[in-house]
Amino acid sequence: MSNILVIGAHPDDETLGVGGTLLKHKLKGDSIVWLNATKMDISNPILSSIIKEREKEIEKVIDHYGIEEFIQLDYLTNSIN
């Protein structure tokens, strides 16, 4: 069994970049950790429903790939150039 770390700047980078590879590792029983660097600005009330939907989507991805640990960094989505 291997330990796999997938790093993405935004949610969906893990799927678009290495989704198939993550599924192969899941089938092998490898341990998968996902580090996501950015999050949306929760101080903007206009985004609150979008943020809640994004959190639900992240949970689905975690379940789909069998991710054992999800690490969320605090960089705002628009702050990474």
Any residues with CB less than 8 A from the CB of 45 and at least 6 apart, and which?
none
Closest CA to 38 of 71, 4, 5: 71
Contact 77, 38 (CB under 8 A): yes
Place of tokens 């639900």: 56
Structure tokens at 19: 């989704």
Give the chain's residues under pLDDT 70: 81
Place of tokens 């999800």: 70
Query: For position 81, what pLDDT does the model report?
Result: 63
For the entire predicted model, the pTM comes to 0.86
